[in-house]
Structure 1
Amino acid sequence: MTEIALTALLLLVLLALLGAGVWVAFSLLAVGMVGMFVFTDAPVGDVLATTAWGASNSWALAALPLFIWMGEILFRSRLSEDMFTGLAPWMNRLPGRLLHVNIIGCGIFAAVSGSSAATAATIGKLSIPELSKRKYPEKLMIGTLAGSATLGLLIPPSIILIVYGVATEQSIARLFMAGVVPGIMLVGLFVGFVILWALFNKDKLPVEESRSSLREKLYHSRRLIPVVMLIGGVMGSIYAGIASPTDAAAVGVVLALALSWFTGSLNRETFLDGLIGATKTSCMIAFILAGAAFLTVAMGFTGIPKMLAVWIGGMNLSPYELLFALTIFFVILGCFLDGISVVVLTTSVIMPMVEQAGIDPLWFGIYIVVVVEMSQITPPVGFNLFVLQSLTGRNILNVAMAALPFFLLMFVALAAIVAVPEIVTWLPNNMN
């Protein structure tokens, strides 16, 4: 049986399981088992037990539940309200005014939550009523939230970068550093788009509100101090080499609990809700990682990744042609699976091809996250679209159309990091 037929058979099994509503983790385990039973004589039970334990017994993976817990704590705190109050006075001078609060607010919250859906829900709950009351254009209000919330996947601490780092044995600290400049670039693209739109559509924006004095701006900005301290404590300790990502995650949880307590939003109910929410999410991700690790080992036994790498190599595709094909593949796959599932599902097969093409795995990690960001705002399974649909009550296609300009801006960012890889690699290579 050729490598194409082998791959097609296992892909059909996977699609059938996912289409039947089987959990992603069980689907990955089942496909791995089918591959080993049909194409190898290896002891499936022994390999499964050893691989599942090895995938779970990782110190780097300990950062995952801690960062998720930190995001859950902040999700239930007054952080978003404080950010809106602190940022709004500074945005009134920019064309587009309070629409920029969505973008900057999502960028800041992304830096302390690591989750795209949590960012969309938290900032959206606060900004949508405020912007609607002021009669800002609904389409752009939804679009800025949908696009900017995806920054939770890229701006560190990013949950999906931790998953990629564990799955591909890349340094999580270096991946975090690599995500900073592309994240800032995306924020700049979004802000620039809103400014241009506002300059050409002045009649569609509400009448300008009274401007705040510098003293009033500084007074409101005091609400941003806890957020800045939290980001500085978590990311500063990593970049300064004082703490590993896992240690920094523990620091982040302590600071988040303290912040929530000082703002009066920490009580028994919010503490337990945050802990239970983090436990559920962490278990889901760990289960998917275990399934993906087993599938990776199973693929190794079948020899499919090596055969595919040789096959792709025989096609003499340039790195750019390979990346273009992978972009289409990931966006389509992301229409049906969440971002973490896309990463763990594909790394076992994709990485040999990537290495064969001479592509830096560190750079590829940021590339795949940007593509997964794009898939978060594409129907039918764009998670950010679901969040905003529930917040606005609008049809998911209307939400998707509002997000379309930001999808295209992400494509521009993707083209930029492909054309200039140093956008990704400069910071990690110069902060050893």
Structure 2
Amino acid sequence: MDIITLSVLLMVLLFAILGSGVWIAIGLGAVGFVALALKVSTPAGGILATSIWQASASWDLTALPMFILMGDILFRTRLAEDMFEGLAPWLQKLPGRLLHVNVVGSTIFAAVSGSSAATCATIGRISLGELKKRGYNDALSLGTLAGSGTIGLMIPPSIIMIVYAAATDQSVARLFIAGIVPGLLLAALFMGYVMVWATLNKDRMPPPEPPQTFANRLKATRRLIPVMLLIAGVIGSIYAGFASATEAAAVGVFLALILSWTTGTLTWENFSGAVLSSTKTSCMIAFILAGAAFLTTAMGFTGIPRALAEWISGFNLSQGMLLVVLTIFFILLGCFLDGISMVVLTTSIIMPLVEKAGFDLIWFGIYIVLVVEMAQITPPVGFNLYVLQSLTGRNIFQLGLYALPLFLLMILAVVLITLVPDLALWLPRTMLEAS
């Protein structure tokens, strides 16, 4: 059986297994066993044990459960309510007014969460009710929240970046730094869209809120101080070189507990719920990574990644055309897989091709995060859409339609970082030179 036929067979088998409802990790492992059985005579059991051990021994991955726990603790605090009250007075003068709370609030919470779904759920719990009560357009409220929640994957600390770093042996800290400017770029694009929409649809906007004095706005801003201190403690410790990503994650959990205690939400029920939820999420991610590690090793034994890279290279695609093909591939893949599965499943196959094409792997990590963000608002497996469905009861495809303009803006962001790679590379290069 030639390599291309085997590749197609394994891909069909994978989607058939995943479509049957089998857990992703088990599906990945099953395809790995089939690949080894069809192509090589090496005992699969020994490869399974070795690959899982090597994948789980990565020090960078120890930051994952801590960042997840931090986000779960903060999800149970009054952080979203405080952020809404602190941001609203300053955003009422902009076209679109309080709709910008979805974008700015998501951007701020992203810096202490690392999860797109957690960002969407936390901000949505407060903002959707407040925006509906004030008469804001439902479609724009839901669409901006779905899109803005994806910034949780780009602004550090990002769970996806940690997974990518472990899979490609890149620096987590450099990836975190590289994500800042693209994350702010996404926020600016989303806010720009809201401004344009509000300017063109003034008749569909609610009447403005009563004006507030500068003193009242400053007073409201005090409610943002805890979250800003938390961001400074977690992200600042990494950028200043005081802590690794794992150590900063531990600092984040400690500060999240302090914040929860000071706001009166640190109860045994909340704490145990956060620990249980983060344990389930961490185990799910670890299980997927284990299955993907075995499949990656199996693919290496079969020679499929190298053969596919050589096959695609034979078309002599330019870097731009290669990115177009990869973007379409990831968008289609995002219709069926979650972000973490997309990253761990594809890195072994596409990285030889990416390296041969001459892409900077830090820049490519930011590109991967962008296309994974698109998957978060792509039906039928868009995690942010499921979060909003649980909050509103709306049809998931209707929510996907609301988020379509922001999906298109993410494609624009891909184009921008491709045309201007320094949007992702300038800050880590500058900080590396300064150190």
**TM tier relative to shorter chain:** over 0.9
Distance 2:289 2:400 in 1: 30
Q: Which residue of 1 aligns with 2:285?
A: 285
* Cα deviation, residue 291, structure 1: 1.1
Correspondence 1:26-37 to 2 at 5 A: 26-37=26-37
Q: Does 1:273 align with 2:302?
A: no
Q: Does 1:357 align with 2:348?
A: no
Q: Which amino acid aligns with 2:233?
A: G
Q: Which residue of 1 aligns with 2:331?
A: 331
Alignment root-mean-square deviation, CA:
0.9
Distance 1:106 1:258 in 2: 21
Q: Which residue of 2 aligns with 1:263?
A: 263
Which piece of structure 1 moves more, 411-420 or 385-394? 385-394
Q: Which residue of 2 aligns with 1:107?
A: 107
- Once the two structures are superposed, residues 224-247 of structure 1 have per-residue CA deviations (whole angstroms, 9 ceiling, x without a partner) of 000000001000010111110001
Q: Which residue of 1 aligns with 2:199?
A: 199
Q: Which amino acid aligns with 1:18?
A: L
Task: Indicate if the aligned counterparts of 1:167 and 1:289 stay in contact, CA closer than 8 A.
Answer: no
Correspondence 1:159-170 to 2 at 5 A: 159-170=159-170
SS in 1 for 2:431: coil
- Once the two structures are superposed, residues 296-317 of structure 1 have per-residue CA deviations (whole angstroms, 9 ceiling, x without a partner) of 1111111111111111111111
Q: Which residue of 2 aligns with 1:411?
A: 411
Which piece of structure 1 moves more, 62-71 or 370-379? 370-379
* Cα deviation, residue 17, structure 1: 0.9
Distance 1:393 1:307 in 2: 46
* Cα deviation, residue 50, structure 1: 1.1
SS in 2 for 1:113: coil
Q: Which residue of 1 aligns with 2:422?
A: 422
Q: Does 1:301 align with 2:301?
A: yes
Distance 2:270 2:372 in 1: 31
* Cα deviation, residue 397, structure 1: 2.2
* Cα deviation, residue 103, structure 1: 0.5
* Cα deviation, residue 43, structure 1: 2.1
- Once the two structures are superposed, residues 88-132 of structure 1 have per-residue CA deviations (whole angstroms, 9 ceiling, x without a partner) of 110111111100011100111111111111111111110111110
Q: Which amino acid aligns with 1:139?
A: A
Runs of 4+ in 1 over 6 A off after TM superposition: none
- Once the two structures are superposed, residues 34-92 of structure 1 have per-residue CA deviations (whole angstroms, 9 ceiling, x without a partner) of 11111012121111111111111221110000000000000001110110010011011
* Cα deviation, residue 390, structure 1: 2.0
Distance 2:33 2:40 in 1: 10
* Cα deviation, residue 3, structure 1: 2.0
* Cα deviation, residue 289, structure 1: 0.8
The number of residues matched between the two structures is 432
- Once the two structures are superposed, residues 338-384 of structure 1 have per-residue CA deviations (whole angstroms, 9 ceiling, x without a partner) of 11111111111011111111111111111011011111111111111
- Once the two structures are superposed, residues 195-218 of structure 1 have per-residue CA deviations (whole angstroms, 9 ceiling, x without a partner) of 111111111111111111111011
SS in 1 for 2:279: helix
Task: Indicate if the aligned counterparts of 1:295 and 1:348 stay in contact, CA closer than 8 A.
Answer: no
Q: Which residue of 1 aligns with 2:183?
A: 183
Q: Which amino acid aligns with 1:13?
A: L
Correspondence 1:52-131 to 2 at 5 A: 52-131=52-131
Task: Indicate if the aligned counterparts of 1:173 and 1:245 stay in contact, CA closer than 8 A.
Answer: yes
Distance 1:2 1:431 in 2: 48
Structure 2 gap ranges (5+): none
TM-score normalised by the chain length of structure 1: 0.99
Q: Which residue of 2 aligns with 1:367?
A: 367
Distance 1:90 1:143 in 2: 22
Distance 1:347 1:388 in 2: 30
- Once the two structures are superposed, residues 215-270 of structure 1 have per-residue CA deviations (whole angstroms, 9 ceiling, x without a partner) of 10110110000000000100001011111000100000000000001000011000
Q: Which amino acid aligns with 1:234?
A: V
Q: Which amino acid aligns with 1:140?
A: L
Distance 2:396 2:23 in 1: 24
TM-score normalised by the chain length of structure 2: 0.98
Q: Which residue of 2 aligns with 1:346?
A: 346
